[in-house]
Amino acid sequence: MITAQKTLDTYPEHWIHVYTDGSAFKDTINGGYGVRIQYPDKTKEELSESCGSYCSNYEAEAFAIEAAVFQLTSVFSLYPEKTQNIVIFSDSKSVLEALQNESLQNSSLKSLFLTIDSFLKTYDLDLTIQWIPGHCNITGNDRADTLAKKGSTAQQQNTTTSFRTAQQIIRNNSKEEWINGWATGKTGRSLFTYMATPNPKDSINSLERRDQVIIFRLRTHHAPVNAHLNRIQPMTPPVCHFCDAPYETTTHLLFQCTSLQELREEYLPPRPDAWNALYSNSQQLKKTSTFYSQMSSRRAKAQTTAGSDK
């Protein structure tokens, strides 16, 4: 807050101080903007309006600045004596950087740029657009935020949706469907004890493809072991190939089969369980994958030997 206030204090009191903000539900729906204009004579003016049913925060921020410029154009036309240098405070770094770099791929940015250009050609004054952090207890900024939220709840019009916003909506909807599908799906339930929601930072993502497949199959109990194969083809006996336990499951092979104890001690944690063997760091997941590969190799050799003896 102190830094933000110092930034405000660098601009003269006889300048017009403008605070702008934009708001949109889930960053893309029901946009609204808010503007608070403070004149040198201490009078104030506020604007609040909707921006469209499908409008991003980014676009709403641009609309807010443009609305402020339009309003000041009207005021200066009616009251020329009020013409004065202006500083517009905005907490949208992305909009300010786009204006500075003239990166005007978005239609709302193009419109804002042209509006400012026309304004400066009409009036001989200084116009500064200054970034300040949001939500830092600056009265004007907080008021603009309130006005923007009010605008987002107003009656919305069906306006043209920009390509950038359409992309963002698709990404948001896809992510929401993914999360909902994860929460309500009936498959892969064995993961939910250890991963209640999708985890982009899951250590499995840093593994090579071959190891990823092995770990995922072990997590979901879909590895090609006898108990699972028996569910697909009942003619396959579900018993353990190594110790004749009644069910050769991934849990049995990883943690229980006595014939694999030596291999287990080499590659799995001291007290192995599903959490530390299958959901740990990438180094351990790699070792667990190696354990499974070594076990599968032993199994294949044993089956080959058994077949040749017949």
The CA-CA-CA angle for residues 111, 113, 119, to 5°, reads: 100
Where do the structural domains in the chain lie, given as residue ranges? 2-158, 203-305
Q: pLDDT tens digit string along 237-293?
A: 999 989 989 999 999 999 999 999 999 999 999 999 999 999 999 999 999 999 999
Handedness of CA 276, 279, 281, 287 (dihedral sign): positive
Question: Residue 274 half-sphere exposure, CB side, CA atoms within 13 Å?
Answer: 16
Match 């003896």 to its residue by tokens: 309
pLDDT band at 106 (very low <50, low <70, confident <90, very high): confident
pTM of the model: 0.61
Residue 219 to residue 178: CA distance in whole angstroms = 19
143 pLDDT above the threshold of 70: yes
Average pLDDT (106-130) is 92
Label the pairing between strands 127-131 and 29-38. Answer: unpaired
Q: In sequence order, which ranges of the chain are alpha helices (DSSP H)?
A: 2-9, 57-78, 93-101, 107-122, 139-152, 163-184, 209-220, 226-232, 250-251, 261-267, 274-278, 282-309
Q: Going by C-beta distance under 8 Å and a sequence separation of 6 or more, which residues neighbour residue 310?
A: none
**Closest residue by Cα to residue 12 from 86, 116, 88:** 86
Residue 184 to residue 201: CA distance in whole angstroms = 22
Q: In the 3-class helix/strand/coil scheme, how is 283-296 assigned residue by residue?
A: HHHHHHHHHHHHHH
Q: pLDDT tens digit string along 182-202?
A: 666 666 566 777 877 778 899
Question: Highest-confidence range of 16-20, 141-145, 183-187, 228-232, by mean pLDDT?
Answer: 16-20
CATH architecture of 2-158: 2-Layer Sandwich (3.30)
Query: In a 3-state reduction of DSSP, which class is residue 54?
Result: strand
Residue type, 3: T
Q: What is the DSSP string of 228-272?
A: HHHHH-TTS--S-TTT--S---HHIIIII-GGGHHHHHHHS-SS-
